[in-house]
């Protein structure tokens, strides 16, 4: 029987428990802003981050903008979650063909502090996307990437390539690379304890008694 990878273990957890563990380790500033929402709340996004940033440039040609965008897609590494800070809230930074490309490459998901379009197609594809808004406007002659693999900041959280992200319907948490193994292990233990509390409550135990017994609620 194969041993589950760290990413597989992370994908079975949930953001609330991961946040609690990180907070207990002194890393409370780990949650991306609440305006980032999953395109499909039923899909989790989990894995090591690969970061990219970019900017609006209305002087750029159609060709150069599409060349820049396809270069981003080409560079995105398999087994990672692309985390994009586009520095705008005007245009879509994810669409059908891009999602198809990333999924086909083995990219695990896409988190962007920006827009998304071609929603129905992406939902049908089943590629995990976290975004902030919808718009039909695209990047053509409007936007270009400027940095790959360098730290980006979304809200108050700075994400480095190699940090791990977990996103579900509650939001997105960022785990510093050096803490990933510890956080996953501690969160698995928390989940086990919460299962015990849940069963105790279902069995009629008073919530105060359950808290005092398990130290968790």
Tens-digit pLDDT string for the chain (217 aa): 678 899 999 999 999 999 999 999 999 999 999 999 999 999 999 999 999 999 999 999 999 999 999 999 999 999 999 999 999 999 999 999 999 999 999 999 999 999 999 999 999 999 999 999 999 999 999 999 999 999 999 999 999 999 999 999 999 999 999 999 999 999 999 988 777 878 888 988 888 987 888 877 7
Domain ranges of the chain: 6-177, 184-214
Task: Supply the DSSP string of 179-199, one letter for each residue.
Answer: GHHHHHHHHHHHHHHHHHHHH
Q: If we measure between CA atoms, which residue out of 165, 197, 176 comes closest to residue 13?
A: 165
Tell how strand 157-159 and strand 143-148 pair up.
unpaired
Is the full-model pTM beyond 0.85? yes
Q: Is 6-177 assigned to CATH 3.90.700.10?
A: no
- CB count within 10 Å of CB 25 equals 15
Place of tokens 């690969």: 50
CA distances from 164 to 77, 185, 210 (A): 14, 14, 32
DSSP 8-class letter at 41: T
């Amino acid at each position: 029987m194969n041993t589950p990878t760290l990413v597989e273990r992370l994908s079975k957890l949930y953001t609330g428990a991961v946040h609690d563990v990180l907070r207990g380790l002194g890393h409370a500033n780990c949650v991306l802003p609440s305006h980032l929402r999953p395109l499909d709340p039923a899909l989790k996004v989990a894995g090591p981050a690969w970061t990219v940033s970019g900017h609006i440039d209305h002087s750029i040609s159609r060709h150069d903008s599409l060349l820049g965008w396809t270069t981003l897609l080409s560079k995105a590494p398999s087994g990672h979650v692309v985390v994009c800070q586009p520095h705008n809230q005007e245009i879509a930074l994810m669409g059908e063909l891009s999602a198809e490309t990333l999924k086909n490459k083995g990219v695990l998901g896409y988190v962007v502090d920006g827009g998304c379009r071609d929603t129905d197609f992406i939902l049908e594809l089943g590629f995990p996307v976290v975004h902030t808004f919808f718009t039909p406007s695209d990047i053509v002659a409007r936007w270009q990437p400027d940095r790959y693999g360098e730290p980006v900041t979304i809200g108050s959280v700075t994400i480095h390539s190699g940090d791990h992200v977990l996103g579900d319907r509650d939001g997105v948490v960022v785990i510093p690379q050096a803490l990933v193994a510890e956080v996953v292990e501690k969160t698995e233990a928390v989940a086990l304890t919460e299962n015990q509390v849940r069963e105790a409550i279902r069995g009629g135990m008073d919530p105060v008694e359950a808290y005092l017994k398990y130290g968790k609620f």
